[in-house]
Chain A
Amino acid sequence: MIASSLSLLGTLGWRNLWRHPRRTLIILFAITLGVWFMVISAAMMIGLIEQQLNDTIFNLTGHAQIHHPKFRDDPAVEHSMPLPNKKLLETLDGGEVTQWSARVRLPAIVMSERESRGVTLVGIDPTREIGLSFIGNPVVEGRSLESVEDNGIVIGQRMAEKLETRIGKRIVIMLQDKTSEVADRGFRIVGLFKAELEATETAYVFTGLSTAQTLVGMANEISEISLVTRSREKLDPLVARLRKATPQFESLSWQELEPLVVTAMAVYENFIFIWYLIIFVAMAFGLTNTMLMAVFERTREIGLLQALGMRPRFIVGQVMLESLILLFLGVLLGNLIGWLTTDIILRDGVDLSAFARGTEQFKIGSTMYFIWRLEDLLTIDVLVIVLGLLASLYPAVKAARYVPVEAIAGN
């Protein structure tokens, strides 16, 4: 009974909509535009957050880190830690961790024939950095490091420019070794890496882990262990286990290592919701108005239907269904075109390189990416449909209140 009445009302609603194609199309366009805009805004926001998060995590932070308790404050060679013991290895190789690696990380001076700069020298195991940090990605020029014994050096592209040097040339690294003496040696530049931010390219230089250890006399020691897991959230149990395995060293999740990013994300997510509401209100005026118009011009018809026995709530239902169809279509189209925009048209992101210095200041890369999430789409869809129905309630109730005789007689 309900089903058949619903289908009746639905058919009525659909046909009513298309009695005035231009009017329907205009309001449909408004709804579609609104939904599309919400989808794009959300995608842009998520793109921004993802990029920042990725950059942070991929920028040697990882999902979690283990190091000497004093290392963060003072990253000097005396705050080193030993290679992982059996207990720690068990946790690290336990399956939850998808990739982990040990690194040497120390402040150093890099010198070329004409320039010198302060940097951080990072000794890595190149095979283990794949999937763990940005240095696991292929370099843009030359070759990546190949093993822990590799004694070549990989520097940032913009660093090479600042040092006025190139691939194939030698640069000298100078730093303080374990005995507080100056340790230095020449390294041949074998590869140049590229990162979103210039700051990253000039901050780090990479060589093999063993090479770095030998240089500073850290025989079986490292500066830190970094790891990634399957999921970026829910790291607490793992971190707890790491702490148990090495209580004398500090184990921290990325949220603890970079609390600012966490706060930034929360701020963004709050903003986007307010933005949805603003867009909706912009649409809602038109929606209500349009439904009112639709109701108003059918006064006689509605009056007739009522006289023929259709109950008020069916009138309400019918108007609401009309609105629902409209909203549904708009949401569908908005989602579709939104998806087209993010995944096809803007798949490679928007190039902001004209504003390179500005994006560097905001610590975001010079390309803006759009990423949609199912949860955002659903939020938008539900929001629009529910609020849209609420906005249509007024015209619907109005319609139901028509007194049949007056309705038929009037107009």
Chain B
Amino acid sequence: MGIVFRLAWRNLWRNRRRTWLTAGAIAFSTTLLFAWVPIQFGAYDMMINASLEVFPGHAQIQRPGYLAKPKIQNAITDAELLTKSLRDSNQYAGVSARAQSFVLLSSGSRSYGSQVVGVEPEYEGGTSTIPTLVKQGRYLSGIDAQEIVVGSALARNLKITVGDEVILLGSSKDGSVAAAILPVVGIFKSGSNDLDRFFSEIPLRTFQEIFAMGNTAHSITVTSRNIEQQPQLLAQLTRALVKRDDVVVLGWEELIPGMKEAIQVDKTGGFIFLSILIAIVVFSILNTFLVSVLERIREFGLMLALGSRPKQIAGLMMLESGLLTLLGLIIGVVIGSALVYWANAVGLVYPGMEELVEQFGLPSLSRIYPQIKLFNFLLGPVAIFICTNLAAWIPILRIRKLEPVAAMRTI
């Protein structure tokens, strides 16, 4: 076996230029795929994360049916206990309870409909970035403070600023009128049109009082340390709540449904594109493999005459092409790793990215980091390895039909 190996390796270097060029083509495409897949998937993660971290969180616990038709009466009765127990288990990065309702917000001159959310100011920062996005004034101070923060576009429409009072008018859980006057302590700007135009937040206890909710809340939002752990998070929560049939656990696919399909479209497109690229590379180097067989037919004829079997020769050729592709792959992986490493250390941004995603209604984004998963790294190289070798084997298969004398007579 050792001799065949050495033979194959030496054969490769009989024509250095050709070998290097072919290996170069393979290295190029390998680098591309090796770096692209993790980075693209990282970009998806970033999009999902950016959409989730601003408000929806990584998972939410709600009553069944609430997501589709949010009725104020459809509240989790032991929300307080449940939230506390989840928090005490110390298994989650952030746990916060919320209650919501649609109200009329009224300043002196204007009235606008708004979705008001009762939050736990101390814990909301663990599940939403809104507390950090307060551009004027400050966030809510305590769980029963009489305060409100509103979105920037909403504040502009109501013609209010920090310090002004707004009147809140709506319907409570028991049907009675919910009304309150609250001073605006902060104005936030999330970059998401929906949030800035319609959302306002008040402390949870205040909400519960105004809307006659008692101890109940509509959702418990949970986040894990990073988005990649989200499937485990869902599993964990589902297990923790398996005995209860009065709540459901919702993951990002239900919380931001359009995103899943958007990513699907992009993935499919990307897959097709890269497949075509691999095809181009393969055809581009097909000649190399062809020639490396054809130009040695005399040699093969000699080997056959001396007693080698066609299978052995074919095997030698396959080993050669295998080594060649491996050479290219290794170079490609090395360069690709360097790229991924750099991307991971620095995070990627490209010019125009901010505006692009604002257009898609996503809140302001952070940098893209590669998604470090074995599958992502293997996908490209394995695909290239298989495709190039398959292409290489086409001429090799003809060797089996070689006839020694005729072969040796070839020019």
Minimum CB distance partner of A23 in chain B = B287
- State A355–B266 Cα separation when bound (angstroms): 10
- Minimum C-beta distance from A164 to chain B (A): 15
Q: Decide if A26 touches B286 in the complex (CB within 8 Å).
A: yes
- Minimum C-beta distance from B221 to chain A (A): 22
Chain A residues closer than 8 Å to B258, beta-carbon distance: 357-358, 360-361
Count, chain A residues at interface, CB 8 A: 45
Asked if B355 is at the interface of the complex by the 8 Å CB criterion, the answer is: yes
Asked if B265 is at the interface of the complex by the 8 Å CB criterion, the answer is: yes
Asked, given contacts A30-B284, A37-B276, A362-B262, whether A285 binds B25 with beta carbons under 8 Å apart, the answer is yes
Asked, given contacts A289-B21, A363-B359, whether A282 binds B287 with beta carbons under 8 Å apart, the answer is no
Segment of A222-230, A231-239, A262-270 engaged in the interface with chain B:
A262-270
Chain B residues closer than 8 Å to A41, beta-carbon distance: 273
Tell me the dominant secondary structure on chain B's binding face.
Answer: helix
Chain B residues closer than 8 Å to A266, beta-carbon distance: 352
Minimum CB distance partner of B258 in chain A = A361
- State A267–B356 Cα separation when bound (angstroms): 8
B76-97 contact mask (Cβ, 8 Å, vs A): 1 or 0: 0000000000000000000000
Chain B residues closer than 8 Å to A26, beta-carbon distance: 283, 286-287, 290
Chain A residues closer than 8 Å to B17, beta-carbon distance: 292
Asked, given contacts A26-B287, A283-B284, whether A361 binds B25 with beta carbons under 8 Å apart, the answer is no
Asked if A301 is at the interface of the complex by the 8 Å CB criterion, the answer is: no
B27-60 contact mask (Cβ, 8 Å, vs A): 1 or 0: 0110010000000000000000000000000000
Q: Decide if B288 touches A289 in the complex (CB within 8 Å).
A: yes
Chain B residues closer than 8 Å to A363, beta-carbon distance: 359-361
- State A358–B156 Cα separation when bound (angstroms): 32
Chain A residues closer than 8 Å to B284, beta-carbon distance: 27, 30, 34, 282-287, 289
Asked if A293 is at the interface of the complex by the 8 Å CB criterion, the answer is: yes
A:348-368 near B, CB below 8 Å: 352, 355-363
Asked if B351 is at the interface of the complex by the 8 Å CB criterion, the answer is: yes
Tell me the dominant secondary structure on chain A's binding face.
Answer: helix
Asked if A19 is at the interface of the complex by the 8 Å CB criterion, the answer is: no
Chain B residues closer than 8 Å to A361, beta-carbon distance: 258-259, 261-262, 360-361
Asked if A134 is at the interface of the complex by the 8 Å CB criterion, the answer is: no
A:325-359 near B, CB below 8 Å: 352, 355-359
Asked if B280 is at the interface of the complex by the 8 Å CB criterion, the answer is: yes
Asked if B291 is at the interface of the complex by the 8 Å CB criterion, the answer is: yes
A:268-307 near B, CB below 8 Å: 270, 278-279, 281-290, 292-293, 297
Q: Decide if A27 touches B287 in the complex (CB within 8 Å).
A: yes
Asked, given contacts A23-B287, A362-B262, whether A264 binds B359 with beta carbons under 8 Å apart, the answer is yes
Minimum CB distance partner of A41 in chain B = B273
Asked, given contacts A26-B286, A264-B355, A361-B360, whether A282 binds B29 with beta carbons under 8 Å apart, the answer is yes
- State A285–B284 Cα separation when bound (angstroms): 7
Chain A residues closer than 8 Å to B265, beta-carbon distance: 352, 355, 358-359, 362
- Minimum C-beta distance from A115 to chain B (A): 12
Chain A residues closer than 8 Å to B180, beta-carbon distance: none
Pick the contact of B263: A29, A281, A297, A358 (CB < 8 A): A358
- Minimum C-beta distance from A236 to chain B (A): 21
B245-287 contact mask (Cβ, 8 Å, vs A): 1 or 0: 0000000000001111111111010000100110111011111
Asked if A261 is at the interface of the complex by the 8 Å CB criterion, the answer is: yes
Chain A residues closer than 8 Å to B279, beta-carbon distance: 33
Asked if B228 is at the interface of the complex by the 8 Å CB criterion, the answer is: no
Pick the contact of A289: B263, B273, B285, B353 (CB < 8 A): B285
- Minimum C-beta distance from B411 to chain A (A): 11
Asked if A309 is at the interface of the complex by the 8 Å CB criterion, the answer is: no
Q: Decide if A286 touches B285 in the complex (CB within 8 Å).
A: yes
Asked, given contacts A267-B351, A288-B21, A359-B265, whether A22 binds B290 with beta carbons under 8 Å apart, the answer is yes
Asked if B18 is at the interface of the complex by the 8 Å CB criterion, the answer is: yes
- State A361–B279 Cα separation when bound (angstroms): 31
- Minimum C-beta distance from A268 to chain B (A): 9
- State A69–B16 Cα separation when bound (angstroms): 71
Q: Decide if A293 touches B283 in the complex (CB within 8 Å).
A: no
Chain A residues closer than 8 Å to B142, beta-carbon distance: none
Chain B residues closer than 8 Å to A93, beta-carbon distance: none
A–B pairs, 26, beta carbons within 8 Å: A23-B291, A37-B276, A37-B277, A73-B156, A260-B355, A264-B352, A267-B352, A267-B355, A279-B277, A282-B25, A282-B281, A284-B284, A286-B25, A286-B284, A286-B286, A286-B287, A289-B284, A289-B285, A289-B287, A292-B21, A297-B295, A355-B264, A355-B265, A357-B260, A362-B262, A362-B360
Which A positions have Cβ atoms within 8 angstroms of B? 22-23, 26-27, 29-30, 33-34, 37, 41, 73-74, 259-261, 263-264, 266-267, 270, 278-279, 281-290, 292-293, 297, 352, 355-363
Which 6 pairs across A and B sit closest by C-beta, in order of nearness? A286-B284, A358-B261, A285-B25, A361-B258, A267-B352, A263-B355
Excluding A286-B285, A355-B265, A361-B361, 14 further A-B contacts by CB distance (< 8 Å) are A26-B286, A30-B284, A41-B273, A264-B352, A282-B29, A283-B284, A286-B25, A286-B287, A293-B18, A355-B261, A355-B268, A357-B260, A358-B264, A358-B265
